[in-house]
Structure formats: structure tokens, C-alpha cells
Amino acid sequence: MISLNSYIAVDWGTTNRRAYRIGPDGRNEAEFEDGKGILSLSDGGFAAAVGEIRERLGDLPLLMAGMIGSNRGWKEAPYVPCPAGLDEIAAALVWPEPDRSAIVPGASFVDDDRADVMRGEEVQLLGAVAAGLIGADALACHPGTHNKWVRLAGGRIAEFRTVMTGELFNLLKEKSILAELLHDKAEPDAAFRAGVRQGLKGEALTADLFSARARVLLGRLDRADASSWVSGLLIGGDVRTGTAGASGEVAVMGRPELTALYAAALDEAGFACREVDGEQAFLAGIAEIARRLS
């Protein structure tokens, strides 16, 4: 084992990466973000991209999480099956440079009916529990291109489900019969909440989506409200899936404009929303993993 007294934590995703120098006292001393996500790098480019991080933040060990451990990343880190806690994840690090740089594995969930994977969110979720930002048995929601709904039990990830809400909204916006209706930014307004109520019913999404166009053509929905209504429809269906069987409070971590939409949708569904700072949660999770290596 190496001593991770001082180290660099990297949240390395598909399109971006964010790196932090963590000092001996656990403080975040310096950081930067850029667009060098894994898709911008070729197979041989990872060592150079890591060298660049060390040039900027210091010649320190690296602890990395996210898509950097996928089959398109630097070195594949096999998924840790649920229930997955910090101990299981710290024990399964993959080392592209022995004793110098480690990749945190993602988590997988499989049962008779379902199969799902995550990479990166596990550090934030388990970090949020460790830092007391959410309870050890919380229901958490992690909005983004691929929203994750995660049930934590005893401080470990017990079960989760990925929903392609953000990606589907973007696809519809870029290129579909609804594209011309989806220019405006979705806001957590009355039209959004009306869409949420429709989505919460759990009728067929592909039918409800087409109805947005019909509603506008027949004067039942203002064109200017279509974006919010469709966003509400998608997020309402997402919340219906994610909160099935749950009650009380949901922890939400994500970008503020997305968190506001999910908070409004959760409110419509009768849930309280606790907003969690994703960066703080990530650094807490990485610190817990580093502690387990010392």
C-alpha cells in the first residue's frame, strides 16, 4: 500500500475532467476543470493527460473516478456488484501505474429482471453518507444525462436504476417531430408541473410525447410552454419510477438548474427534497477511499 498523504483527486468523465490537489490535512488546495474527457483522448493519450495534471497540480499520486475506468478509459476497472460500500470499492481499485495512480471501480446491479451500471456517482453517494450529508438508508437521485436513482442501505449502495431522461430530452430537442417546440429552456413553472402530473400517471411515454404536438395544434398547450411541459412529462415519469415504494425525503445531487426541476417534480409527487453539493460529496468519498489505502 502507498500512503496517500497528499494526492490528486480526479473526477474524469466522458466529456470533462475536474482535478483537485488534496493536502495532508485533507484540504482542497488547488483545482482545475477542462474539456479533456475520455472521448477526447486516444488509447495512448492517457499517460500524457495524466502528466499534464501533475504539471499543474504537483507530482503526486492520483485517485481517479468516473468513465476513466470504463472500457473506453485508461484502464478498465470491473464493476463492484451491489451491495457496494466504501470498503468493497476501495478493495477493488485498479492501478494503471503501480503505487502511483489508481482508478475507482464503478458499481453494478443485477437481479432477475434488471441490469444496471454506474461510474463516478458511487463516490459522491458514499461520500455524502460518510460526510453526513445524507442518511445511511437514504433514497438519492443523481440527475444528469443519465439520471440515477439509488437506494442506500446501511451506508452501502443496495440497488439503483438509471433513467435516460436527460439524453432523451436532448435527442427530442435536436431531432424529432417535437424539435421545433423545444427551443425554450425548461423552467419549474406551472406548465412543467402539469407535465409532471401527466408523467406521474405512468401512461406510455411515447404516446404522451406525441400528445405535446397535438396539444399545441389543438390549442390545449401554449407553444411557449411546450419545453417545460415535455421536460415535466419526462421528469415526472422518472420520479414515478425512482420513488416507487418510497416515502419521505429524497436527496438530490446535481447541477442547480436540474436540481430545481427535480425538486419541483418531487414536490408534485409528495416528496421532500434535500439538495446535496455534489463536489463536496465527491471529495468526501475520495478522502474515505484514500484513508482506506494508508
Q: Grid cell 496517500 — which residue?
A: 4
Choose, by CB under 8 A, the member of 168, 260, 276, 284 that binds a copy of itself: 168
Separation of alpha carbons 196 and 191, rounded Å: 9
* 176 binds a copy of itself, rule: CB under 8 A: yes
108 touches a copy of itself (CB under 8 A): yes
177-236 binders of a copy of itself (CB under 8 A): 177, 198, 202-207, 209-211, 213-215, 217-218, 220-221, 234
Residue of the chain from 1, 174, 256, 294 that contacts a copy of itself (CB under 8 A): 174
Q: How far apart are CA 9 and CA 37, in angstroms?
A: 15
239-258 positions binding a copy of itself, by CB under 8 A: 240-241
With binding defined as CB under 8 A, does residue 111 bind a copy of itself? no
The DSSP 8-state label assigned to residue 78 in this structure reads P
Residue selected from 114, 223, 255, 291 as contacting a copy of itself according to rule CB under 8 A: 114
Work out which of 25, 55, 59, 175 binds a copy of itself, going by CB under 8 A: 175
CA dihedral of residues 216, 198, 253, 19 (deg, nearest 10): -40
Q: Which three cell numbers stand for residue 197?
A: 402530473
Nearer to a copy of itself among residue 39 and residue 136 (C-beta): 39
Query: Residues 128-140, buried b or exposed e (16+ Cβ, 10 A)?
Result: bbbbebbeeebbb
Helices 190-200 and 226-242: angle between axes, nearest 10 degrees: 40
Question: C-beta of 250: minimal distance to a copy of itself in Å?
Answer: 16
Cα angle: 92, vertex 95, 101; to 5 degrees: 120
Which residues are CB-contacts of 15 (< 8 A; sequence separation ≥ 6)? 35, 37, 39, 40
Question: Closest separation between CB of residue 124 and a copy of itself, Å?
Answer: 19
First to last CA, the chain: 7
Stretch binding a copy of itself (CB under 8 A), from 4-12, 93-101, 106-114, 274-282: 106-114
Nearest residue to 117 via CA among 148, 152, 156, 73: 148
173 binds a copy of itself (CB under 8 A): no
Beta bridge partners of 103: 64, 94
* Residue with smaller CB distance to a copy of itself, 21 or 173: 173
Write down the least CB distance from residue 97 to a copy of itself, Å. 25
Q: Give the three-state DSSP class for 155.
A: coil
**Of 11 and 238, which has the nearer Cβ to a copy of itself?**
238
Taking CB under 8 A as the rule, does residue 136 contact a copy of itself? no
18 to 47, contacts with a copy of itself by CB under 8 A? none
Neighbours of 174 (CB within 10 A): 9
Helices then strands, counting H and E runs in the chain, come out as 9, 14
Q: Which positions from 65 to 104 touch a copy of itself by CB under 8 A, shown as an x/- string? A: ------x-------x-------------------------
Q: Which residues bind a copy of itself (CB under 8 A)?
A: 71, 79, 108, 110, 113-117, 146, 161-165, 167-168, 171-172, 174-177, 198, 202-207, 209-211, 213-215, 217-218, 220-221, 234, 237-238, 240-241
